[in-house]
Structure 1
Amino acid sequence: MRMAIRVVQGLIVLLVLALLAGTWWYVPGELKQRPLLAGTSEDASVRQGERRRHYVLYLPAHPAERPALLVVLHGSGGNGERMRRESGYRFDALADRDGFLVLYPDGFEGHWNDCRKAASYSARRLNIDDVGFLSTMIERLQRERGVDPQRIFVTGYSNGGQMALRLAAEAPDAVAGVAAIAASLPSAENDACRPAQQPKATLLMNGTRDPINPYAGGRVTLFGFGNRGTVLSSGESARALARRNGVNAAPSLDRLTSVGPVWSERQRWGAAGMAPVELVTVHGGGHLLPQALYRPPRLLGEVDPELDGPAEIWRFFSELSR
């Protein structure tokens, strides 16, 4: 009997160790290298109604005379500082090179109030005015930092990407373009926002093996748990955005990285005088912002080792400026 008990206890210990090893392997991310940055970051807050909202502002050492502003929105459960880290500080490094400012605001209790009806987090339940918050922050930086109102761009990851799409639809005059990573347009029955009334330059960057936001469209879950409603496929999302912008022609296609287990290509819908739409497809990629300096949690899937996602996003925005 005692021998049987010891065997069971040993099996339990082995199971716990296996679970711990699996958790260590799949769950945490790792900053492999922090780049040397010339600028400085400011942690601050601003009052919005009865609430105080926090943000991080990165200021390059040599800002342009009328700098552009890039707003970077984190994913579910994150915050601005974590988004800096999880993007490998690449947006900050690009800001050092090109002299723009980078704003990393915090969502409400780790989330943004995006357009998806089925979302159940507090920002959605309480109908937090994130469009108002972000618009106020943009206006403040125009006034206090001399930001060029014609060069204000917003990008976001996951829930932050959904929020960027909402901002483009409901505050189009505030931004010149948006980029959504690991996010697609909500389907009609899951869309709580007003329809977009103005064309807006948009980039989507999605992985074909995303375990959360399905590339082929369908229900968004957190690894099978919860329900944030359905979304269009990445291709349908891009085509719908192109039609909104008045572009009905077939897209051009460019390969961005070498074909391999995970590789990327870009489709572009555009016409003279029309706001462009781009879809960067990461074949074999997961729920990720591709870059080389931060290793994301393995349970989110594979990353394209050759694709610099932040640089591709800033390339898109820079071309709008020109």
Structure 2
Amino acid sequence: MRVAIRVVQTLIALLVLALLVGAWWYVPGELKQSPVLTGTSEDASVRQGERRRSYVLYVPQKLAEHPALLVVLHSSQSNGQRMRRDSGYRFDALADRDGFLVLYPDGFEGHWNDCRRVASYSARALNIDDVGFLSGMIERLQRERAVDPARVFVAGYSNGGQMALRLAAEAPDVVDGVAAVAASLPTADNDACAPARQPTAALLMNGTRDPINPYAGGRVTLFGFGDRGNVLSAEDSATALARRNGQNGEPVQDRLTEAGPVWTQRQRWDASGGPPVELLTVHGGGHLLSQPVYRPPRLLGQADPQLDGPAEIWRFFSDLRP
């Protein structure tokens, strides 16, 4: 009897050890190298109605006289400071090079009130005015930091990417271009936002093996939990944005990175004179922003080791004509 008990205890101990090893392998991320930055980050907050909203503002040492502003929106259950890490501080490094401001605002209780009707987190349930909050922050920085109003861009990852798409639809007079990573347009039955008022330049960056936001479209869940409703496929999303912008032709395709287990292809719609739309398809890629400095949790899938996602996003924005 004692032998049987010891065998069971040993098996339980081995199972617990295996779970701990699995968690250590799949869950945490890793910063491969410390960022070398010359600017400063400012942590502050502003009042929105009865609430205070926090943010981080990165100011490069050599700020342009009338700088561009890049707003970077984090994923679910995150914040602006973690988004700096998740992007490998690459947006900050690009700001050091080109002299623009980077704003990392915090969502409400870790989330953004994007367009997805089915989402049940508090930002959605309470209908937090994130369009108003972000528009107000942009207008404030235009006053206080002399931001060029013709060069205001928004990039977002996951829930932040969904929020960027909402801004493109509901605040196109405030932002001049958006980029959504690991995010697709919600289907008509899952879309709670107002119809888009005018065209806006847009870039999508999606992985074909995304375990959360399916590249081919369908139900979005957090590994089976936290239903976010249905989304269009990445390609249908890009086509819909292109048609919204008056781009009715076929996209030009090219390969961004060399063939391998994970590689990236670009499709670009820009032949019809309206704002351009790009879809970066990370073949074999997961639910993440590929970049060379931060290794995201393995649970989210693989990144393209040759793709610098933040640099591609900034390249897209930099090429836009005011």
TM-score (norm 2): 0.99
Q: 1:4 aligns to what?
A: 4
Tell me the amino acid that sits aligned with residue 247 of structure 1.
Q
- Whole-angstrom distance in 1 between the partners of 2:7 and 2:178: 58
CA contact 2:30–2:294 (8 Å) conserved in 1: yes
Q: 2:188 aligns to what?
A: 188
Q: 2:74 aligns to what?
A: 74
- Whole-angstrom distance in 2 between the partners of 1:78 and 1:276: 30
- Whole-angstrom distance in 1 between the partners of 2:92 and 2:21: 34
CA contact 1:32–1:294 (8 Å) conserved in 2: yes
Tell me the amino acid that sits aligned with residue 228 of structure 1.
R
Deviation at 1:271, TM superposition (A): 2.2
Deviation at 1:227, TM superposition (A): 1.2
- Whole-angstrom distance in 2 between the partners of 1:232 and 1:47: 35
CA contact 2:95–2:101 (8 Å) conserved in 1: yes
CA contact 1:77–1:111 (8 Å) conserved in 2: yes
Deviation at 1:226, TM superposition (A): 2.8
**How do 1:106-125 residues align onto structure 2 when only pairs under 5 Å count?**
106-125=106-125
Aligned length: 322
Corresponding residue SS for 1:103: strand
Deviations 1:127-150 (A, max 9, x none): 000000000000000000000000
CA contact 2:247–2:273 (8 Å) conserved in 1: no
Q: 2:38 aligns to what?
A: 38
**How do 1:1-322 residues align onto structure 2 when only pairs under 5 Å count?**
1-321=1-321
CA contact 2:247–2:272 (8 Å) conserved in 1: no
What 5-or-longer segments of structure 1 have no aligned partner? none
CA contact 1:73–1:161 (8 Å) conserved in 2: yes
Deviation at 1:225, TM superposition (A): 2.0
Deviation at 1:321, TM superposition (A): 4.2
- Whole-angstrom distance in 1 between the partners of 2:88 and 2:227: 29
- Whole-angstrom distance in 1 between the partners of 2:269 and 2:321: 18
CA contact 2:248–2:272 (8 Å) conserved in 1: no
Runs of 4+ with deviation above 4 angstroms? none
Deviations 1:181-215 (A, max 9, x none): 00000000000000102010000000000000000
Deviations 1:280-299 (A, max 9, x none): 00000000100010000001
- Whole-angstrom distance in 2 between the partners of 1:95 and 1:272: 31
- Whole-angstrom distance in 2 between the partners of 1:283 and 1:70: 27
CA contact 1:151–1:321 (8 Å) conserved in 2: no
Tell me the amino acid that sits aligned with residue 150 of structure 2.
Q
Tell me the amino acid that sits aligned with residue 246 of structure 1.
G
Tell me the amino acid that sits aligned with residue 253 of structure 2.
L
Q: Percent of aligned pairs with the same residue?
A: 80
Deviation at 1:272, TM superposition (A): 4.8
Deviations 1:24-58 (A, max 9, x none): 00000011112210000000000000000000000
CA contact 1:154–1:175 (8 Å) conserved in 2: yes
Corresponding residue SS for 1:227: coil
CA contact 2:249–2:272 (8 Å) conserved in 1: no
- Whole-angstrom distance in 2 between the partners of 1:268 and 1:320: 13
What 5-or-longer segments of structure 2 have no aligned partner? none
Deviations 1:49-88 (A, max 9, x none): 0000000000000011100000000000000000001100
- Whole-angstrom distance in 1 between the partners of 2:84 and 2:216: 29
- Whole-angstrom distance in 2 between the partners of 1:200 and 1:136: 19
Deviation at 1:279, TM superposition (A): 0.1
TM-score (norm 1): 0.99
